[in-house]
Amino acid sequence: MTIEKNVCENAAEIKLSGWLDTQTAPELDAEISALGEEITALTLDFEKLEYISSAGLRLIVAAYKKMNGALTLRNVSDEIMSVIKMTGLDKRITIA
């Protein structure tokens, strides 16, 4: 998995590509933890994400909490969407 992070004032955008599974989840976890207090909104771009497991979903929930709900998922493919729907995350998280 590769992670591409862009920070612009108070907002951050992370572009993910490849597999976000139990093995790679800690990398994303580290990136999100590294975000400073000033960041109040996070956008995750899943355009090039091929795979997500519950480890990834857990990070999404954690990020959602950290941003106090200001988390947006962008460019979610049907395949990833079906996994998100399986756990009901789509009910709370903004998916653009």
Partner 1 sequence: MNKRSIRRWITLCFTVILILSLAVTAAWNYYHTYSHILEESRDAAESCASLVRYSLDSWDIDALMHASDDEQYRQERSTLRALSRSFDFEYLYIYTVDPETEVRHFLFCVASDDDKENVVLRERYLGAVADEPLDKWEKAMLAGERKMQMGKVSTQYGDDITWLVPYTEGDGPLLAVIGMDHSIAVENAKILKDFLFALIPVVLSLTMGLLVLLILLRRRILRPIHALSESMSRFARDSSVKPEPIGIRTQDEIGEIAASYEKMTSDIVAYVNNIEALTKERVETNVQLDVARRIQYGLVPEKTSLDGDGFTLRAMTQPAKAVGGDFYDCFHRDDNKVCAVLGDVSGKGISAAIFMAMAKTMIHEKLMAGLSPSETLNQVNDALCAQNPEGLFATAFAVVLDPVTGRMCYANAGHTPPVLIGEVSRFLHPDSGIALGLFEDAGIVDGSLDLLPGEGILLYTDGVTEAVSPERALFGEARLLEELAHFPASPDAAQESIRTVKEAVERFTEGGEPFDDTAILALFRTAGDAWKPIPVALSSFDEVKKAVFAEIGETAEARKILLACDETLTNIVSYSGASELTYCCTKEGDTLRIGFRDNGTAFDPTAPRAMETDFDMLDMGGMGIGIVRETASSMEYARRDDRNVLFLCFRL
Q: Which spans of this chain sit near partner 1 (rule: CB under 8 A)? A: 21-23, 50-51, 53-55, 57-59, 61-62, 65, 79, 82-83, 86-89, 91-92
- Tell me if 59 sits within 8 A of 29, measured CB to CB: yes
Token pair recorded at residue 25: 């989840």
CA 4, 10, 70, 75 dihedral sign is negative
CB nearer partner 1, residue 6 or residue 72: 72
Strand order in the sheet with 2-8: 2-8, 11-20, 41-52, 71-74, 94-95
Residue 58 or 74: which CB sits closer to partner 1?
Answer: 58
| Min dist. Cβ of residue 51 to partner 1 (A) | 5
Q: What pairs with residue 44 in β-bridges?
A: 14, 73
* Smallest gap from residue 45 Cβ to partner 1 (A): 19
**Residue (6 or 85) nearer to partner 1, CB:** 85
Give least dist CB 87 to partner 1, A: 5
